[in-house]
Structure formats: C-alpha cells, structure tokens
Amino acid sequence: MLMRMSTLFLRTLRDDPVDAEVDSHRLLVRAGYIRRAAPGIYTWLPLGLKVLAKVEQVVREEMAAAGAQEIHFPALLPREPYEATNRWTEYGPNLFRLHDRRGNDYLLAPTHEEMFTLVVKDLYSSYKDLPLALYQIQTKYRDEARPRAGLLRGREFIMKDAYTFDIDAESHAASYQAQRDAYERIFARLGLPYVIVTATSGAMGGSRSEEFLSPSPIGEDTYVRSAGGYAANVEAVTTPVPEPVPFDGAPAAHVEDTPDTPTIASLVDVANARFPRPDGSWTAADTLKNVVVALTHPDGGREVVVIGLPGDREVDLKRLEAAVEPAAVEAAGDADFAAHPELVKGYIGPSALGPNAAGARDVAPDGRVLAGAVRYLLDPRVVPGTRWITGADEAGRHVFELVAGRDFTADGTIEAAEVRAGDPAPDGSGPLELARGIEMGHVFDLGTKYSQALGLTVLDQNGKSRVVHMGSYGVGVSRAVAALAENFHDERGLTWPVAVAPAHVHIIATGKDEAVFTAAEEIATQAQERGLEVLIDDRRKVSPGVKFADAELLGVPVVVVVGRGLADGVVEVRRRAAGVTEEVKVAGAAGHVAEVVASLR
Amino acid sequence: MLMRMSTLFLRTLRDDPVDAEVDSHRLLVRAGYIRRAAPGIYTWLPLGLKVLAKVEQVVREEMAAAGAQEIHFPALLPREPYEATNRWTEYGPNLFRLHDRRGNDYLLAPTHEEMFTLVVKDLYSSYKDLPLALYQIQTKYRDEARPRAGLLRGREFIMKDAYTFDIDAESHAASYQAQRDAYERIFARLGLPYVIVTATSGAMGGSRSEEFLSPSPIGEDTYVRSAGGYAANVEAVTTPVPEPVPFDGAPAAHVEDTPDTPTIASLVDVANARFPRPDGSWTAADTLKNVVVALTHPDGGREVVVIGLPGDREVDLKRLEAAVEPAAVEAAGDADFAAHPELVKGYIGPSALGPNAAGARDVAPDGRVLAGAVRYLLDPRVVPGTRWITGADEAGRHVFELVAGRDFTADGTIEAAEVRAGDPAPDGSGPLELARGIEMGHVFDLGTKYSQALGLTVLDQNGKSRVVHMGSYGVGVSRAVAALAENFHDERGLTWPVAVAPAHVHIIATGKDEAVFTAAEEIATQAQERGLEVLIDDRRKVSPGVKFADAELLGVPVVVVVGRGLADGVVEVRRRAAGVTEEVKVAGAAGHVAEVVASLR
C-alpha cells in the first residue's frame, strides 16, 4: 500500500479544535483522521479509516479464534422487540426514536440483545445447536446527554457486540471465559493497557459483568484496586457493613438550637463548642447528612428519595445512578419540597422519614414507596446503634445522639456515597486505591433476562424445554481508536503502535533536488516489496519544516528522511515514538526500515 | 478459511418465505443468507455476510484503481446541509427524519452529496488540490413506499457512493470516465451482466447521468435499445417530434352526441359507424385522451395537471414521475374534480384547457400555472395541425376534427406516454426494443448544483474563485448480492460465481463410516493449503439427501462428495452451476478441485 501526501485527502491543522477537551480528540482532528459532522457524530477521513480498519481486523481475528461467527444486524429496528424487554422505555432519552412513513415506531439500536435472541430463536431449537457465539461489528446510536471528547463518547459509534447462547450456567461460564480471553488478546494486540474490573450491569441487566478499562486520567469511569487483587468500577463497590453497635444505655436524643450552621463544618464547630462529647470531639463523620434527590422512573413516575450518609462523604452521582438504574436522577426541585413539607431544607432528619415515622407502608417491586411518600435510604455504614447529629426537621435546630435502629429506621440501604482512597476493599484484601479509566470492553452474564422475555428456549436431552443462558460482550471499536491516541501521543503529535498505524513508514523527500525525490520513490518501492505500508511525502513546494511537523503529528511509527545526506549516500531513519534517529546507507534503507518495523511489533 | 456445517449458524428452509416475490429473495432467505428484520430491512447471516464482503472488496479494489480515496460519513446527519440544497424537503416521505433529545432535526442519509461537498470545502481551497475522487461504502436509508423483493429495494441498504471534484467540465469528463470505467470493471469481475443506458438524474440533479442496469425480467427499470446503439432508461427517452401538419382548409371542428362510449375502443367504433372519415377509418391513434393527475410539489402545494396524449398510448407512471420530479404524482380525486368544474369526467377536451381557453396566465419557475389553474401538457406527438377526436367538455359528447394549434394550445409538452417496442429511437438509430433491468449503478455529472448551493469554490491559477464541478457515482452493494442471486440460480438453488461465493468448495461427507469423515477432513485441509475457502458438511446424523439438497441450495461452485466410492479410492467432484459430476482419485482430489475452481474464475 502506498499513499502520497501530494494527493492524500488530508489537511493538518495548526490549531486545536475549539471543542476539544482531550488530547486524542485534539490530535485526531488536527492530524486529519476524523472530522466532526454534528455533536458526537464524526466523519472518518482516509487515515482515520485505516486505523479503524486495523482495529476491526484484530477484533475479527480474535472473535474467529474464540469461535464466534460474524453476522450483521440493521441499525434501524422496529419497536416491538425492545418493547418486549421494556428497553424501549428504559432507555429513556438516550434512545433515538423515529417513525416510518406509515407511522410505525422504529429506533436506532444502541445494542442488539433483542435481535440476537430473536434470530437464534428463529433458527435453533435444540441443545445440540448450543453452545453458540455470534457477533457483529456495527454502527450504534445513543443520544447522549453530553457527547464529549470526540470519539470517546459519541452518539454514532462503532461497536463489536458478541452474544453467547448456552444450555446452562456451567456451559455459559466457558463461553464467557472464551470471550473474556479473546478480549485480553484483542487489547494486548492493540497495545492498549487495560485492567479488568467488576462492574454493574446497568441497562443490560443480568447477573454479573466485568469491564475492561484502559487507565487514563481523562477516563469517565473511576475504578478501585486493592493490593490483594480486588478490582472494581466504583459503581460496583459494595461498602463493608460494620457490626451493629449495642445501644443499651446510650443517652437519649436531644434537640438543640443550632443557628448559623449552614455547612457540616460549621455544625461540627458549634457541636464541639456548645455540646462537647464526653468521649472525644465530634467530627463530620458523626453527622448524618440527608440528601434529597428526585428519580424519574421509566414509566415516567417521579419519586422523591432522601439518602442519609455520614457527613464526611459526598454522594457520588455515578454510583447513585448505577444504584437506582433504570431510573434517572436529578436534583430535587422546589415543587418536590413543596409536595413534601416534612422536608425542611437544611434541617432534614430521619425522624420525619422512613417506616418508623410513616407507619406501615406499601412498597412497589422496584422499591418505590407507594402513595407518593418519600423513600428514605441509608448508607450501609449507618448500622443500628450508630449515634448521629442530624437535622431536627425544624429550621435552626439539630438533634444529637439520634441512634439508628432505636430512634429511626429507613426503607433500605443504598450504595451512593463516594468511595475514597484508603477505604477497605469489600473482600478484605486491603485498602483501595482509586484511578480513572476509559471503558473499552464490557462482558456480561445476562442469565435468562432476554431469553425469558423473548421466549428463546431449546429442548434438552430429555426433550424438556430449557430457557437459554445468554452472555453479551462489547468492545468499543471507534472508541478504541481514541483510547489508542490517548495512550500513544506526545506533545508533537500521535505515536501509533505498528499494529494500528495508518502506515508502517513515512518517507519524506526534502529539498528541491530531483535525486532526492527519485531516491525516496525507490525506497518506497522497496519498502512495499517487503510488505510495508508506505506513506510518502512527495510534495514539491512544501518546506522540510512543514513536512517534519506533519510527520510528527501523523505519528507513523518509522520516518525516513531523504535529504542532504543523500549526497553522502545516507538517509535518516527515525523511530517516531522513541524520538531516536540514525543514519543508514540509502542502499539498505528499506531493509533496515523493515527490521525496525518488525522490532516495534 | 474453513466453515463447518455442524456449527455454522445456518438453517436452510424447505418453504419459500410468504413475502418473497422474486427468486433472489426466495433463495437468499431459504438458503440462510439473509433474514428479514422489518419491511425492507434485512439481517445478514454468516454466508450472506461473506458474499457481501466479497462484493465490497471488489468495489474497494476498483475504486482504488480509479484513484478514489475511501472515507466514511455518519448515517445520522443534521438537517442543515440538506436544507441548503432543498433536499430536506424534496425527498418528501422517502426521508427518515428524527429529532435528538434537544429537539434538533436529523435525518438518516439516503445519499451524501452535501456532506462530501462540505468536507472538501472544509479541507481544500486551491485548483492544485484537484482533481479529487472520494468514496465510501456505507449504510443508507430510504423510507420506500413499497419496499420489495428482499435486498432489491430495501429501506436500509449498503451503497458505494463516490464523488469527484474538478476545476472544470473538461477535467470532470476524465473523472467521470474513470469512474465509469471502474464500474465496467466492477460488474465484469462480479460476473454481473450489465447495459449502460442514458438516464434521468432525478433527485440528484445535475446535467447528465447514465445507469448500469443488469438485465432481468424482474427489474424495476425498463430500458430501450436500438440496433444503432441507442440505449436509455425509458424515463429518459425523448419522443421524436413529427413535423407540423399544414391545416389550411382543414374541416371545421364539430361536436357530436356520442352516448355509450366509455372506452377509446367504443368511441372509435361509434366514430367509424356514424361519422366515417373521408380519408380512411378512425383509429385509437386519432383520439386525444386527456388524463387528469394531481401533483404534490415539495412545498406541499397540490396542482391538477391534464395530460393529452394519443388514445392508443397509456401514461407510463414512471416516465410521468421522472418528468415532474421532484413533485409526486397521484390520481386526481373527487375534490380535484370538484375544484375544477371545467373537467367533465370522461369528456375532458382541450377546448376548456390551456392558455387559449384560459387567456394569458402566469407560470411559476417550476412550470406550475399560478392561481390554482389546471396545467395542460401534451404528448410531443400532438404537433400543430394534427386532427383529433376528443372530449367536448360536455357529458355524452365528443368533438371531431379538433386541430392542434388552430383550436387549442397547451402549457407545454411532457414525456409521459409509454414507450413501445418499434418506436423510433430519438437519435434516428432505428426502432427500439424494450427490456427490463435492475439498476446496479448510476453515474452523474452533477455540474455545480451542490458546489454552488454549499459554496464549494477553489482559487484557480489566476487567483480567481471557481465553483467546483462535481460528479456522483453509486453502486448498490447489497443490491448487487440480490442481482447476483437473480442471475445465478436454478430450480434447485443458488449457483454463485467463484468471485463472490461464500466458499470455493463444499465438501460433503456421507454415510456413517468414520473413514469417510476422516477423508473429507483431509481433503478440506489440503484444499485450504491450496488457498481455497472450504465449507465442510461434517454433520453426523444428517442424511445424504439432506446434505445434497443443502449443497444445491447454498450454491458453492464446487461440491466434493466423499462417500461409498472411497472404498475404491474415489470421490465425486461436481460443478454446481453446470451440473457436471466426475469421479477423481481421493489422493489428487484437492489439487483437482483447485484446478476446477481456477477454471471457473
């Protein structure tokens, strides 16, 4: 393959695009790999498409190695299958919905569990047909509220999605492992660093899932690890629950005037000054903060929820969202407070909340407290016997020594408090460290969620009908291009690994001497004969400085500069990433380049 | 590549799908290549996807050979660029439109002229950047009123669309020719018979276009050819206009009672019986039929149009649609007749129509007669001096000897009458023959329609701004799979050419003898070593009859049957399409198969 800078559809840009927040976005646009068509929607220019095709090829090869067969579903799908699994509703505003000319409802698919389930139901009927693994590489749609960071969170994007079908959980475990192994090979071949973490399943449902995260400070996901091997997305971290504390003989709760305590810190100061604790000083961890949020359930119902958590921790919105999924979260508004006069802003306390306060209450299957009551959920640390300073449900007053389990109860617990470095791992494997990562892959044990909803059963060896056990496995293919750029760049531009680079070698002819261009063309021909993909800068009226800068920006792994040295029979060979330059004889240049490329693989 | 029938995601069907009207649809579904997801929307199963990938590869190679560079646009696009060219409106109900969560308008692109124009405008600015050819292979959307025939007319489909950009018409001509040549190579390599015909440009606009049609009785397009080399889609055929006929001294028109003449034939009978012509008998060709239709213009305006044509010809709806494009055509309804009392159903005549009857009238740029009047358009054969029997605008009465140009005029002419075998070619190259074809490709000289609308200019050698001359070129990639199936099948199943077959050889192990399976596997291995793609039927509990029938249905070009003959050291090698079987020694079987496959290329 030979590309020529003189004709390549490319213009590198000096300036960063104004909407670029992250390096990969900035550089992929500046280097002419992608171009924005609309918010979160990108066009692939020639070099970008070559990188994308290489990523796809790696994914295809490893899917084939895992025994998965490729098929291809439409992106435009009828509503009915997604209605059957309730995802037509659950996806909320993230789903692009439309009608056809007859008024029938369609969607642009964000993922294809329903369709894969139905096609297997359509074709297969016996345990002998299983196990089965199918996949596609396909364009998907998600109407993100905040598309950002170029390809990292787009509204039209390319995914590899695979699905496995097994007769039982045991067989599924092997299918799951085969996909998980394939993912490890894919990311290793791409050169993309990754960690595997326990995750929540979100809209996908099912019982178990793991994410492949590429560590990056600009990643949207936060994950934790312990020295003892625990690794999880913060969304999936469960708080170790302390033992209950005996509260026999604990002092009675007492309500106090606490004016001018708008913050936890000011409350703690007042408490220590005016109501000193016999057994030490009060800290923020002794206060119980009650945070009001409003949930919108998929059926459109709005619910006010109060979350009680130690005052030294914030609510982590992503953990909260994961905990209440598929409901959507927003801050409670004036109307919510008006509807619930028991919520005294700034002084909300558990005394007015929870079953104790409200008496017996009916609860819906999704946890909602019926009849429009406020639901009260506690951080798991608030175990019976813990003593708190908290709101007294009257302006300017707090209650002290309020004991959980004695003075108040809740409707349940919730994992919504932030996870902090140093928190204990839930499995006891030591303190947690936090880091950020880009979600590159996600593997799900779906159980029978989709097969049950859509009636995918097979007959087993005894002629009995069995609901098929499914798994679902995604790789963000277009996102991988961005994650690679995020990992492989420096201040001058991109530094692609050989496996995904748009070309192996970038040959630059500098100066005006015809012999330079002739020699560059000869090296290009010889390099192609050695199976290398070549980009040659054969532009006649462009300065060496511009050509060098373009080469740095484009990031082809090996750069050959044919210039003044040619008079002495030498050319320069640079390794773009390492920044190492050597002079080699022009006669052996192509062979040398081939060796360098091989050494970089 | 090795595929195993024991694990391949495939179920062949005994019965034709109920909605299948054509052989390709019937067989592609029965043989498990595709599966319907919604009307006009299909899923590609493993074998279908392999054929599709081969077609795409041929297209990619020939595009590269023509110097075109591949890029990739989104399918989901914002409204604005399509608004600028008026296609947001002109596409009417064929366009899938939707909003995003912020209420912004989007569309699923049916074709990408706007986006290609804008990306070139974005990147390029000088004549030195031209000529340029870009293309993509991409999923497109069109909300067809009547999706039909499986992949032949779908609502989600795959196209290769290419675009060329030139400084002037002369340079464009070379770019156009390069694409046209590439199309000839593509269809030749695919083995798809084709004819190139002059076409209309439809919604694409521009000045010149040619279609590549694959001759087929089930094709939606009708085309004509003359022995002298004229070839055109009937939509593009222009009627040779006869010389005007002198009408000095022609008899005066006379209105007659003509009860019971509901048809042209009955009118002709009555005319001959009661008003015999001095110079011969009346025929249907002497009657002037006036057909009322209603147009809906892109701006939503409705217009009643009357088309006058010789009574021996029908209106060809597709020619009419092409003639009035972008307006849509429907039959006139009761409301239209009510609004125009001058239209006396069954007795409409030109006397009440046209400028003569209506006096001076204003005409809009798109030809509409303003102020809601009926527009009257004549077949080009109705030249001045021709004499007609036609409606007298009174129930039960016709007018005789009504002379065009003397007694009536029209607002213009229209090419809406059917073209018939034997009609003269417009270029005088002899009588026309008619045939049907499937539109496989379409090449357009767009002129400056899009570059003008979207402001794509470059500076020329003198520093002057020049509007870029564009061309657009499409190949129906998914449709090609159907057209191939339409061309290559027999009553037993598909008969793929080697270039696009999902595998080169289909090896069948029959019987229960383990040696048969071992020998089949060995031949499969040896065939793969020779670079062949192999499908092996290694199913243990399936009868030879079922295996043979599946092989016939799937249509892999060479079939090897390993069975009873193995005891004598021979296997059968069948050429699927020719139906020729030969026995060959098992030892040399793979080599022989490789030779046969090579001979079929």
- pLDDT by residue (tens digit) across A8-23? 999 999 888 888 889 9
Residue B233 within any structural domain of the chain: yes
Q: pLDDT tens-digit profile of B318-332?
A: 999 989 988 889 889
B38 chain-A contacts, CB cut-off 8 A: 74, 76-78, 106
Per-residue pLDDT of A245-280, as tens digits, reads 998 888 888 998 988 888 899 999 988 988 888 778
Please report, for the domain that includes residue B584, its CATH number.
3.40.50.800
Provide, as residue numbers in chain B, all residues whose Cβ is less than 8 Å from the Cβ of A115.
37, 43
A442/A552 same-domain check:
no
pLDDT of the residue at A145: 87
Shared domain check, B218 and B303: no
Window 41-70 of A: residues touching B by CB (8 A cutoff) are 41-46, 49, 52, 67, 69-70
CA distance A35 to chain B (A): 8
Instruction: Assess whether pLDDT exceeds 70 at residue B198.
Output: yes
Torsion sign over Cα B81, B83, B87, B89? positive
Q: How far is B46 from chain A (nearest CA, A)?
A: 5
Mutate to test the interface with A, among B29, B41, B165 (most CBs of A within 10 A): B41
Q: Measured between CB atoms, which of B70, B76, B145 is closest to A141? A: B76
**pLDDT exceeds cutoff 70 at B477:** yes
pLDDT tops 80 at residue A355? no
CB contacts under 8 A, A 97-136 vs B, are 97-98, 100-101, 106, 108, 115, 119, 122-124, 132, 134
Contact of A96 with chain B, judged by CB distance below 8 Å, is answered with yes
Q: Which of A8, A67, A76 sits opposite B108 (nearest CB)?
A: A76
Same domain, B527 and B465: no
Return the pLDDT at B186: 98
Cβ of B8 within 8 Å of Cβ of A93? The answer is no
Question: Same domain, yes or no, for A508 and A482?
Answer: no
Q: How far apart are CA B564 and CA A566, in angstroms?
A: 70
Whether A143 and B100 lie within 8 Å, measured CB to CB:
yes
Please check whether residues A53 and A173 belong to one and the same domain.
Answer: yes
- CA–CA separation, B50 and B37 (whole Å): 19
Q: Which residues does chain A have within 8 Å of residue B72's beta carbon, measured at their own beta carbons?
A: 43-44, 49, 52
Contact B74 A49 (CB under 8 A): no
Residue type at position B6: S
Domain-embedded: residue B427: no
pTM for the full predicted model: 0.90
- A74 inside 8 A of chain B by CB: yes
Which residue does chain B place closest to A102, by CA atoms?
B145
Q: Which of A41, A49, A97 sits opposite B74 (nearest CB)?
A: A41
Strands B132-141 and B69-70: parallel
Give the per-residue pLDDT at A247.
Answer: 86
Q: Are residues A368 and A334 in the same domain?
A: yes
CATH of the domain at B400: 3.90.960.10
Contacts of A74 in chain B (CB under 8 A): 37-38, 41-43, 156
| CATH number of residue A33's parent domain | 3.30.930.10
Alpha-carbon gap, residue B308 to B287, rounded angstroms: 10
Contact A74 B156 (CB under 8 A): yes
The confidence score (pLDDT) of residue A19 equals: 84
Last residue of some domain: A384, A413, A442?
A413
Residue A11: its chain B contacts at CB < 8 A? 123-124
pLDDT on residue A327: 87
Chain centre distance of CA A458? 34
- A31 & A161 share domain: yes
Nearest neighbour of B43 by CB, restricted to A10, A73, A155: A73
Q: Is residue A540 part of a domain?
A: yes
Which residues in chain B are contacts of A106 at CB distance < 8 A?
A: 38, 96
Whether B44 and A72 lie within 8 Å, measured CB to CB: yes
Residue A8 located in a structural domain: no
- Nearest-CA distance B370 → chain A (Å): 30
How far is residue B472's CA from residue B445's CA, in Å, rounded to a whole number?
Answer: 7
ipTM score of complex: 0.90
A562 falls in which pLDDT band (50, 70, 90)?
very high
**A78 in contact with B, Cβ within 8 Å:** yes
* Boundary-marking domain end, from A486, A515, A530: A486
Q: How far is CA A574 from the centre of its chain?
A: 36
C-alpha B596/C-alpha B572 separation (Å) is 13
Residue A104 lies in a domain: no
Tally of domains in chain A? 3
Instruction: For residues A454 and A514, state if they share a domain.
Output: no
Are A357 and A270 part of one and the same domain?
yes
Beta carbons within 10 angstroms of residue B228's beta carbon: 11
If asked whether residues B323 and B381 sit together in one domain, one would say yes
Q: Is B424 within a domain?
A: no
A357: containing domain? 254-413
A507 and A482 in one domain?
A: no
Indicate yes or no: CB of B43 within 8 angstroms of CB of A70.
no
Lowest mean pLDDT among A368-372, A480-484, B570-574: A368-372
Check whether residue A282 and residue A389 sit in a common domain. yes
Answer for the pair A373, A361: CB distance below 8 angstroms, yes or no. Answer: yes
- Strand blocks (E) in B150-226: 156-166, 195-198, 208-215, 221-226
Is A377 domain-assigned? yes
Q: What is the pLDDT of residues A165-219, one digit of tens each?
A: 999 999 999 999 999 999 999 999 999 999 999 988 765 556 789 999 999 999 9
Lowest-confidence region among A312-316, A352-356, B448-452: A352-356
In a domain, A358, yes or no: yes
Residue B24: how many other CB atoms lie within 10 Å: 29
Structure tokens at A238: 């469960």
Q: Comparing C-alpha atoms, which of B538, B542, B541, B547 is closest to residue B516?
A: B538
